[in-house]
A and B are shown apart, each in its own frame.
Chain A
């Protein structure tokens, strides 16, 4: 593939502009200081409906949806469409959950889900487990974003490592400087670019390929000649489809970066309104997934990787290159690259906040001041990205969607403590810890047992676990995350009963039922809201000090 000059210039200009915006974002609604985790890590908790929509949309709808999902559809057909039901059910499912999480975090000054677990179950160990889970689960997800940027560059004819390294440095730089303001501001540009490209693609490509009917008929013919895949689900694949959709949806808002987006909202109503408005993005995702079929109909052949296997991530970039004029291809490629930057940035901030609050401040340097806390977060955001780079080397699944799905298996194990914990305080902290160990153990074992048919690797090759491996006489696979969560819940319930019967001391719940309904008393901003927080609890105290006390720390 030759580098086209027009395409490269448009891409570079757009990418550089966006990167510049990311650095300049530190000045947007400039805080008194950036040396405060509420400012750096949550954008001051002041985002209104629109900015929250852009931010959550920006970090949920990643290059994963733009590149990896259509690549999966390109290869397996209908089964790759699972991300649409996933994104259809997630908002009604988490509507009540997120609102409660927002309230209790606002009332208590929590920054992470692990903060909440610590306050709710009075267990440092459980909070540490939740924190570690969140960080681990984020790494493969960030790795996926880097792979998507690589695929775009490769399609443009830019080989070698340095462009990816450059993109990585830009990402790390503006995240370090601007914190959550960086991706929030960029997200607006990202969404404009993405909507432009996708609307053009959905109107123009079917027109060029002879209409939707022809696209699906061509795809149907292609899949009927193959052993697997199809325009509809095979009968033994329906359970996996539904379990993937449900599992992905259950895990989605447990990731540190997604809860970060929700906590940055200004009020309960902002969260609620977003649950109604975010599905607009899901519609776009549906059409993006259909790009996979368009690529089939257009006869796209993916580029090869160094090891001689096809790089499926290049399918969508190649399709764009084939049908669009050069200047528009440049815009489309910039859209994909920026769509990878925004979430990668929010993810590293989410993971960094978690590391700082729940590992560093808790175990390494308790009582460090706010400036110190913010500084550690910034450095941690760099380290997290290096961890992601390592992930790209260690994991080699058949489809890069599995990076996300593997991360999701891991993050789902925090569901009993975080999501159920928001509603009921029945579980014993010992029970939750036992459940986590069982769920994580079984989840990782299942992932280890899944081979990659394409490369011949025997382990970590995907996320669909064949039920025949645990002795069930069926050819049906199911999403490993759902099975692991089931194990987790059963063990957590059993161990809770055992802990209670044995009379083991349970942790103290420092939250009150009313905290879960707390809201702004009136449309207030920053400092006013700060004075209304409850300063009684230790976790809250760190944040509730308010901007006034910062000067003396500096």
Chain B
């Protein structure tokens, strides 16, 4: 049992340079001074709002990227 787990863990770790992407995605939305403005508007929606909505998409892309680059290894792959 233990040997089994050791075998799977040798090539798996939480560390990866891709994780920095997560930090970028987590910090961007906190910088209120960047987006606290009315213009440019998008379809009538002030910058303040559509930019933050765009940051959500960005966060999702970052998490997807990290998952694809680091997450899927190992024998536990699911479909």
Residue of A89, A277, A514 contacting most chain B CB atoms (<10 Å): A89
Given A84-B56, A283-B53, also A270-B29 (CB < 8 A): no
Given A276-B63, A522-B75, also A238-B32 (CB < 8 A): yes
Which B residues lie within 8 Å of A249 (CB)?
Answer: 26
A518 within 8 A of B: yes
A268 within 8 A of B: yes
B55 x A269 contact (CB < 8 A): no
Q: Which residue of A lies closest to B7 (CB)?
A: A521
As a 0/1 sequence over residues 487 to 520 of chain A, the CB contacts with chain B under 8 angstroms (1 = contact) are 0000000000000000000000000001011111
B53 x A84 contact (CB < 8 A): yes
Given A212-B43, A245-B30, A290-B49, also A516-B5 (CB < 8 A): no
B14 x A78 contact (CB < 8 A): no
Contacts of A81-133 to chain B: CB distance below 8 A: 81, 84-85, 87-89, 91-93, 95-96, 99-100
Given A92-B22, A96-B19, A212-B43, also A268-B76 (CB < 8 A): yes
**Complex Cα spacing A231 to B77, Å:** 47
Given A89-B26, A279-B63, also A269-B77 (CB < 8 A): yes
**Complex Cα spacing A228 to B73, Å:** 52
Q: Which of A215, A233, A267, A275 contacts B44 (CB 8 A)?
A: A215
Interface size on A, residues (CB 8 A): 59
Q: Which of B22, B45, B52, B75 contacts A95 (CB 8 A)?
A: B22
Min Cβ gap B2→A in Å is 8
A95 x B63 contact (CB < 8 A): yes
Residue of B31, B32, B44 contacting most chain A CB atoms (<10 Å): B32
Q: Which of B21, B43, B59, B78 contacts A89 (CB 8 A)?
A: B59
Given A268-B76, A519-B76, also A286-B52 (CB < 8 A): yes
Which A residues lie within 8 Å of B59 (CB)?
Answer: 88-89, 91-92, 279, 282
Q: Which residue of B lies closest to A279 (CB)?
A: B60
If over half of B's interface residues share one DSSP class (helix, strand or loop), that class is named, otherwise mixed; here it is: helix
Contacts of A279-320 to chain B: CB distance below 8 A: 279-280, 282-283, 286-287, 290
B46 x A89 contact (CB < 8 A): no
Residue of A85, A91, A245 contacting most chain B CB atoms (<10 Å): A85
**Complex Cα spacing A394 to B56, Å:** 36
Q: Which residue of B lies closest to A271 (CB)?
A: B71
**Complex Cα spacing A333 to B47, Å:** 31
B48 x A272 contact (CB < 8 A): no
Residue of B4, B5, B23, B57 contacting most chain A CB atoms (<10 Å): B5
A277 x B60 contact (CB < 8 A): yes
As a 0/1 sequence over residues 196 to 232 of chain A, the CB contacts with chain B under 8 angstroms (1 = contact) are 0000000000100001111110000000000000011
Q: Which residue of A lies closest to B48 (CB)?
A: A232
A517 x B12 contact (CB < 8 A): yes
Sorted from nearest, which 4 A-B pairs have the closest CB atoms?
A213-B44, A212-B44, A85-B29, A279-B60
